[in-house]
Amino acid sequence: MTTTYRIQNPATGELLQKFPFATDDKIQQALTDSATAYTRWSSMKMSERGKILEKLADLFEENAVDLAAQATLEMGKNSREAIGEVKYCARIIRYYATEGERLTADQELKNIDGQTAVLRRKSLGPLLGIMPWNFPFYQVIRFAAPNLMLGNTVLLKHAEICAGTALTIQEYMHKAGVLEGAYINVFATHDQASTIIADPRIHGVSLTGSERAGSAVGEQAGRHLKKAVLELGGSDPYIVLDSTDVATSARRALFSRLANSGQTCTSNKRMIIMDDIYDEFVAELTKLSAELTPGDPAEANRNEYAPLSSESAATGLMQQIDEARKAGANVLVGGERPDLPGYYVKPTVLTDIPESSKAFSEELFGPVVMVYRVATEDEAIELANSSVYGLGGSVFSTDEARAQQVADQLDVGMVHVNAFNVGGEDLPFGGVKRSGFGRELGPLGMDEFVNKQLLTLNTPR
């Protein structure tokens, strides 16, 4: 299987276009261009950069359908979800364009007897972003928008299967008026990414990806004393303490899990259900999953499921399902690939997953629901916190205080009561434990790659 940058349709497996890796000379030129552009880009007034980002937001909104089609073609995203992703990107860009000056305003720390101390937030310099394929526009924009607004410049290494999206984002940046060199797409190899991190002209790196990739990039960043933000895996607990309508609760849980074909870091991968509603909940999950059929992601039929992003993604997920089955887990529905072209895996429901199995501790990145039965709130909390990951989590109950009490004890970066995966351009995103560190979006997303400079002023006497 090819490992070059490419456009390959996950619904058919057809390889449509290949792109060569950058030469080492091109990587060095990109570093030079980014550093050169930084001097001019960072010296512009923030309001000027804001106008450019406003134009970029307009372009994303006006061309949402066409941009979404690129994501559908490259990584198999349901077209309805893809359009939503692009429109969300426009909101993120506009948020930083309009709120950037307020978020980075000087903060007075002390003003006593003629001495003034001020905390200022200034740009750092060129940055490297290493972004994944599962949200090919959103992952890039949530990193690039706040940093471009700050005055940092960006080198962006996208996933190999998102070559078209990567080029399109760069094209739209330039259409909007982002300075040549302030945003550069690089079709870099992993070794070349390491070279970029080590280069003294680079001041930080942000990666969204697997735990393994995060460990490698974090190690390299630390070795070269570079600031890093890592958004890694997740196996989010989804605790249902009670429900007056179990069938509806199960439906909501299932279709939350199947969004983006289950390829979402904050997906509700572990459903932890109280004993008295467990059987009915699982029966409904199984029935609904069995009714779904494979379909063309460009059609966005609600009764169909989309393919995974690549053959390696589908093969890897099937290996995890098979291992869970051999370890003693029950596969109630799914657990196989349909006899079709493309990278489809049938929606799968796993129960009775042994603690000794890999599935108990691994992240399953695809349309697999893992359901656990618990008898008490303490048992639910213990199970939820047993994961090495700590990205997000949700607790549902008709008694909000009860749900809040459980939610308060979850070791995660984002917790939701009677809601799932709540997010927004103005809300910070990130996790704890092996889900990484640092935050994106909201005020905190603009406070990562910043020189928090102390300025003191003493009035002469």
Q: Which residues are catalytic?
A: 231, 265
Tally of CA atoms within 13 A in the half-sphere of 205 that contains its CB: 31
The HSE-up count of residue 303 (CA atoms within 13 Å, CB side) is: 2
How crowded is residue 141: how many other Cβ atoms within 10 Å of its Cβ?
A: 27
Separation between Cα atoms, residue 188 and residue 195, nearest integer Å: 10
Residue 256 region, left (φ>0) first, then alpha (ψ -120 to 50), else beta? alpha
In contact, 458 and 117? CB cutoff 8 Å: no
DSSP 443: H
Measured CA to CA, the distance from residue 163 to residue 413 in angstroms comes to 31
**Strands (DSSP E) along 295-391, which ranges?**
304-305, 330-333, 348-351, 368-374, 389-390
Q: Rounded to an integer, what is the distance from CA 272 to the centroid of its chain? A: 23
Please report the DSSP string for 137-174 in residue order.
Answer: THHHHHHHHHHHHHT-EEEEE--GGGHHHHHHHHHHHH
